Amino acid sequence: MNFFSNTLLFKRITILVSFIIVVLILWNTYSFFQKFKQAERDKMEIHGEAIKEFNTTSVEELDENISDLPLTIISKTKDIPFILVDSNGQIKGSNNLNPKKENDPEYLKEQLAIMKSQNRPIRVDYLGKTDYIYYKDSDLLDKLTYYPLALLLILVLFLTVIYLFYNSNKAAETNKLWTGMAKETAHQIGTPLSSLLGWISILKMEKIDETYIEEIEKDVHRLNTIANRFSKIGSKPELKKENIVAITKQAFDYLESRSSKQISFSFSSKDNKIDANINTELFGWVIENLIKNAIDAMLGKGKLNLSIENSSKKVKIVVSDTGKGMPKKMFKQIFKPGFTTKKRGWGLGLSLSKRIVEDYHNGKIFVQKSELGKGTTFQIVLDKI
């Protein structure tokens, strides 16, 4: 509990610190952007003064060094695109635009519209005339506008990595917990199983009705199978060439004999033998999980059909019921650990089935179709030999 609380507190602190960092970065970037934008405007105002000086004073009236100053200022303004417009709105000149299009009137009009939307014009008055300098942000300033987005993207990726890291750790811890519980359960079942086998031997010597003893032996064998299944969780099982029809029929018959008589069971397969590499105990567990889920979905009354379809390379096991069905959005959710629609369910049956089929047997298990109020169909697909 302390570990969980500490982890949750650390996550909250991490999110808070990340949020503060983002706010500081955005604020500093905005401040820098405004200062840089003002610096560009100051530069263009100086440029405007240089144009005014150049147009109002003859070179003969000024010292040679002074007369060079306006020309130097004008020639050095190379990083900011601008257009010079007279008081009638006619374009008089431009600079720092695309050299291939600077003589195209339509291009200049487009650029002028952009400049008007970005910055206020700079007014230049000289000799009774008025010109206006329209300019747009430099390439560096344009790139700067994307800087916060890049930082946000980096931060999102960073937080995603942290989230995935903690999730993977949590999943690993959960898997270890379930594996440990499963193996401990198998170990605990082993002791009473040995005792039950001894009692069965005594009952046989007492000449009890063989029918009763056979049924008890079936249940003891069943308990032994369950113990073996749990002991295999967490380790790679051994696959052998087996008749998948016989294994499936065995699990089907066991649950049919112990289920409500108000459920109509139907088993169909055109072939009596289809070989596939499977682990008998684990695969039988998958079939039982699907049948039990179907029985629960039908609330003990309805029709359950299991069919085996044989193709050239694949074998398909289809389990259908006439239960309550489910919406399409739940087709994948039901295979997630802990997800259940039952009041007392653990949400492990289908999750384990998916792991057994897909991780251990390299097959597929999925909801083929489902309709609310009409039932659900599951399908397992395996490679056959």
Give the residue among 338, 252, 237, 244 at the shortest CA–CA distance from 288. 252
Measured CA to CA, the distance from residue 14 to residue 82 in angstroms comes to 46
Buried b (16+ CB within 10 A) or exposed e, 114-132: ebeeebebbebeeeeeebb
Residue identified by tokens 């047997």 is: 361
Q: Would 2-145 and 237-383 be classified into the same CATH topology?
A: no
The average pLDDT across 99-123 equals 87
Residue identified by tokens 């020309």 is: 71
Give, for 340, the enclosing helix (H) or strand (E): none
Tokens of 315: 């074998």
- Lowest mean pLDDT across 33-42, 226-235, 284-293: 226-235
Question: Does pLDDT of 349 surpass 70?
Answer: yes
Measured CA to CA, the distance from residue 376 to residue 231 in angstroms comes to 31
219-222: Cβ within 8 A, 24+ apart? 220/193, 220/196, 222/254
Question: Does pLDDT of 147 surpass 90?
Answer: no
- The pLDDT score that the predictor gives to residue 376 is 95
Tokens of 226: 């369950």
Q: What is the pTM of this model?
A: 0.52
Question: Does pLDDT of 49 surpass 70?
Answer: yes
Q: How many CB atoms lie under 10 A from the CB of residue 284?
A: 19
Measured CA to CA, the distance from residue 116 to residue 134 in angstroms comes to 7
pLDDT above 70: percentage of residues in the chain = 81
Q: How many CB atoms lie under 10 A from the CB of residue 55?
A: 13
Do the beta carbons of residue 340 and residue 293 sit within 8 Å? no
- The pLDDT score that the predictor gives to residue 357 is 93
- The pLDDT score that the predictor gives to residue 189 is 73
Do the beta carbons of residue 264 and residue 303 sit within 8 Å? yes
C-alpha of 295 from chain center? 33
Give, for 114, the enclosing helix (H) or strand (E): helix 105-118
Measured CA to CA, the distance from residue 297 to residue 378 in angstroms comes to 13
Measured CA to CA, the distance from residue 332 to residue 150 in angstroms comes to 34
- CB contact set of 153 (below 8 Å; sequence gap of 6+): none
Greater model confidence, 146 or 259: 259
Question: Does pLDDT of 245 surpass 90?
Answer: yes
Give the residue among 362, 280, 349 at the shortest CA–CA distance from 319. 349
Which residues, in sequence order, are bridge partners of residue 267?
Answer: 306
Give the residue among 147, 378, 360 at the shortest CA–CA distance from 236. 360
Question: Does pLDDT of 116 surpass 80?
Answer: yes
Measured CA to CA, the distance from residue 284 to residue 251 in angstroms comes to 6
Question: Does pLDDT of 152 surpass 80?
Answer: no
The second-level CATH assignment, the architecture, of 237-383 is 2-Layer Sandwich (3.30)
Measured CA to CA, the distance from residue 119 to residue 137 in angstroms comes to 8
Residue spans per domain, the chain: 2-145, 237-383
CATH number assigned to the domain covering 2-145 = 3.30.450
Greater model confidence, 227 or 322: 322
Measured CA to CA, the distance from residue 1 to residue 221 in angstroms comes to 39
How confident is the model over 179-216, as pLDDT tens digits? 666 666 665 676 677 777 787 788 778 777 777 788 78
Measured CA to CA, the distance from residue 278 to residue 263 in angstroms comes to 29
